[in-house]
Amino acid sequence: MRFQFVLTGGGNGSWSPSCRRMGFPGTSAVRMAPSSRSSEVFLSRREQVLLILGGGVGLMLLLVACGLRPDPRGYGTHRQLGLPPCTFQLVWDIPCPSCGGTTAFSLFVRGRWVAALRSNAGAALLAGLCVVGVPWVIGSVRAGRYLGMRDPVQVLVIVMVTLTVVSCTQWGLRLGGWVP
């Protein structure tokens, strides 16, 4: 059985030292009670901050992509940010697995999803995840729990592995000449 914290007030507005440290004003005791929703995972302050930072990064990536003009070659848009050419491509004369990622983001925010997938499928999926993830972060932080999932670490691992496999698969197909 899972438990959740239930705050009980002292009635006189007094604080217990442990509750004051936890940031719960006007409480005198914290007791454990069976949770009505045993699958809920409540967010700690640290988790809320990390979620807000992650959502902020996702939003920032989307906003920066809005300000970039997609390179018609399908890669190289990152040069508009003052970044150097892809070192991997300069050394080996082949594109790296992340080549076209900035272009994919820039195409995605303009609604050119097929072109974004052609440019870099993993980055296009990540852009879509950012679009969905920002509102999810806001909702989760407001609710104080992860919305729609029990194990956020497992979900994160699945997402990261999926994005890596998609990017590397597309890269391999490009190197083999099966995908332009």
In this predicted model, what pLDDT tens digit does every residue of 85-137 receive, in sequence order? 889 988 998 888 989 999 999 999 999 999 999 999 999 999 999 999 999 99
Task: Verify that 101 and 138 share a domain, yes or no.
Answer: yes
Within a domain: 58: yes
* Secondary structure tally for the chain: helices H, strands E: 7, 2
CB 51 within 8 A of CB 43: yes
Task: Verify that 27 and 90 share a domain, yes or no.
Answer: no
| DSSP code of residue 152 | H
Task: Verify that 13 and 50 share a domain, yes or no.
Answer: no
Task: Verify that 84 and 134 share a domain, yes or no.
Answer: yes
Lowest mean pLDDT: which of 10-19, 81-90, 148-157, 162-171?
10-19
Average pLDDT, stretch 139-164? 93
% of the chain exceeding 70 in pLDDT = 77
Task: Verify that 14 and 93 share a domain, yes or no.
Answer: no
**Distance (Å) of CA 180 to CA 75, 103, 123, 139, 154:** 12, 15, 16, 40, 34
Task: Verify that 102 and 164 share a domain, yes or no.
Answer: yes
Amino acid identity of residue 153, one-letter, is V
Task: Verify that 32 and 47 share a domain, yes or no.
Answer: no
Task: Verify that 52 and 34 share a domain, yes or no.
Answer: no
Higher pLDDT, 125 or 12: 125
Task: Verify that 6 and 80 share a domain, yes or no.
Answer: no
Task: Verify that 59 and 141 share a domain, yes or no.
Answer: yes
CB 134 within 8 A of CB 59: yes
- This model's pTM is above 0.85: no
Quote the number of domains for the chain. Answer: 2
Name the average pLDDT for the chain: 82
157/152 Cα distance (integer angstroms): 9
Task: Verify that 82 and 130 share a domain, yes or no.
Answer: yes
CB 116 within 8 A of CB 71: no
Within a domain: 180: no
Q: Where are the beta strands (DSSP E) in the chain?
A: 3-9, 27-34
132/54 Cα distance (integer angstroms): 13
Task: Verify that 21 and 97 share a domain, yes or no.
Answer: no
Q: Which domain holds residue 16?
A: 1-38
**pLDDT (tens digit per residue) in 75-91:** 888 888 888 988 998 89
